[in-house]
C-alpha cells in the first residue's frame, strides 16, 4: 500500500472512456504528517466516464465526496482543475465544487434533422448556464438502410448512440422526437421500451425531464405528442419540467407559423423542406437554459 500526505489542493480521480496519455492519480500533499491511502487508476479503463472531487476538511471524520459529470469534461477546465490549488478557505473550496454541478443528457431521434437542430440549440442553451455539463445522444435507428434510402432520409450524424444504461448517469434528461400520428416516433418508443430494468429499480425516479418535438403540420401533434409522452416519465417517477410561458413574447407569435408549446420547444417540418425558424431555435435555446437552471437547483439541493 502506498501512502501520501493529506492535501489542500483540489484532488481529482478520473476514469475516461477514451485513452489519455498517462494514468490519472488521486493526489494529496501538504506538510502535515497524516496520510491517506493512494490508489492509481489507469486512464484507459473503460466505458463510463467518472470524475469525482474529494475534499478533506480538518479531520478524516469530515470528508465529503462530490460526484461531478460522468459524460466528459472540457479539457481546458480539466487542466485548470489539475493545475489550480486552493487554500484552506472553505468558500473557495465550495466555489470549485460548484463547477459542473449538474450533468444533463439530451437524447433524441431525428430522421430528417429537424429534431437534431432543436437538440443542438437546446444544448447551447444549457451550456450557457454556469455549473452545467450537457451531452447529446441519439437513440438507435430501427429501420433498415434500404428503407431509409427510399424515404429520402439523410445519413445520421456522428452524435453517439445511447443505451438505457447511460440514462441514470444524468442529473436531468431532455427527450426529443418527431411525431407519428400525434405520438412519439416508434424509434424513440422502442428505446423507452428497453428501459424496463431502470423502471424496475426506479433508477430515474426524482430526475427532472423535459420534451421537445417536431410535427409535419399545424395541428399535427404539437401538444398531443408531449402530452402522451409524459406517461413515459410518470412510470419512471421523473419530474416533468415544461417551459410554460417563460419564453415570454415569443409564445404569443401570431404573424408567422411557429412550433412549440408550453410543454416544450417544437418545430414544423412540413414536407421536409421547412427548417426550424430563428424563433423556434430561440425557444429551443431558452428551453435548454431554463431546464438547466432547474436541474442545477435540484442537484444542489440534494447535496
pLDDT (tens place) for every residue of the chain, 303 residues total? 433 333 333 333 323 333 333 333 333 333 333 333 333 434 433 333 333 333 333 333 333 333 444 444 443 333 333 334 444 444 444 333 344 478 999 999 999 999 999 999 999 999 999 999 999 999 999 999 999 999 999 999 999 999 999 999 999 999 999 999 999 999 999 999 999 999 999 999 999 999 999 999 999 999 999 999 999 999 999 999 999 999 999 999 999 999 999 999 999 999 999 999 999 999 999 999 999 999 999 999 887
Judge: domain 104-301, CATH 3.40.50.360: yes
Would you say the C-alpha torsion 3, 67, 46, 15 has a positive or negative sign? negative
Predicted confidence at residue 301, as pLDDT, reads 87
Q: What is the pTM of this model?
A: 0.69
Of 122, 112, 160, 103, nearest in space to 266 by CA: 122
**CA triple 214-220-226, angle to 5 deg:** 55
Give the domain ranges of the chain. Answer: 2-97, 104-301
Q: What is the pLDDT of residue 245?
A: 98
Residues 6+ apart with CB under 8 A from 70: 48, 49, 50, 51, 103, 169
Cell matching residue 119 = 437538440
Residue 165 buriedness (CB in 10 A; 0-12 / 13-18 / 19+): middle
Burial class of residue 222, CB neighbours in 10 A (0-12, 13-18, 19+): buried
Alpha-carbon gap, residue 102 to 91, rounded angstroms:
19
Give Cβ neighbours of residue 82 (< 8 Å, ≥ 6 apart): 12
Amino acid at each position: 500500500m502506498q501512502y501520501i500526505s493529506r492535501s489542500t489542493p483540489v484532488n481529482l480521480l478520473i476514469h475516461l472512456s477514451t485513452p489519455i496519455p498517462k494514468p490519472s492519480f488521486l493526489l494529496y500533499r501538504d506538510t502535515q504528517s497524516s496520510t491517506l491511502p493512494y490508489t492509481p487508476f489507469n486512464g484507459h479503463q473503460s466505458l463510463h466516464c467518472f470524475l469525482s472531487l474529494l475534499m478533506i476538511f480538518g479531520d478524516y471524520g469530515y470528508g465529503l465526496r462530490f460526484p461531478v459529470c460522468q459524460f466528459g469534461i472540457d479539457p481546458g477546465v480539466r487542466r485548470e482543475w489539475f493545475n489550480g490549488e486552493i487554500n484552506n478557505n472553505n468558500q473557495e473550496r465550495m466555489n470549485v465544487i460548484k463547477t459542473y454541478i449538474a450533468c444533463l443528457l439530451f437524447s433524441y431521434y431525428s430522421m430528417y434533422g429537424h429534431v437534431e437542430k432543436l437538440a443542438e440549440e437546446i444544448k447551447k442553451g444549457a451550456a450557457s448556464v454556469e455549473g452545467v455539463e450537457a451531452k447529446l445522444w441519439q437513440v438507435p435507428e430501427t429501420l433498415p438502410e434500404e428503407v431509409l434510402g427510399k424515404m429520402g432520409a439523410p445519413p445520421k450524424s456522428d452524435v453517439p448512440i445511447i443505451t438505457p444504461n447511460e440514462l441514470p448517469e444524468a442529473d436531468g434528461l431532455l427527450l426529443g422526437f418527431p411525431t407519428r400520428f400525434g405520438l412519439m416516433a416508434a424509434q424513440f418508443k422502442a428505446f423507452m421500451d428497453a428501459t424496463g430494468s431502470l423502471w424496475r429499480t426506479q433508477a430515474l425516479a426524482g430526475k427532472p425531464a423535459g420534451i421537445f418535438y417536431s410535427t409535419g403540420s399545424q395541428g399535427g401533434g404539437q401538444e398531443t405528442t408531449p402530452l402522451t409522452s409524459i406517461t413515459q416519465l410518470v412510470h419512471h417517477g421523473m419530474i416533468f419540467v415544461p417551459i410554460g410561458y417563460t419564453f415570454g413574447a415569443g409564445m404569443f407569435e401570431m404573424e408567422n407559423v411557429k412550433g412549440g408549446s408550453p410543454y416544450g420547444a417544437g418545430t414544423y417540418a412540413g414536407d421536409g423542406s421547412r427548417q426550424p425558424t430563428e424563433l423556434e431555435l430561440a425557444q429551443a435555446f431558452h428551453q435548454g437554459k431554463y431546464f438547466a437552471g432547474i436541474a442545477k437547483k435540484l442537484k444542489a439541493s440534494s447535496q
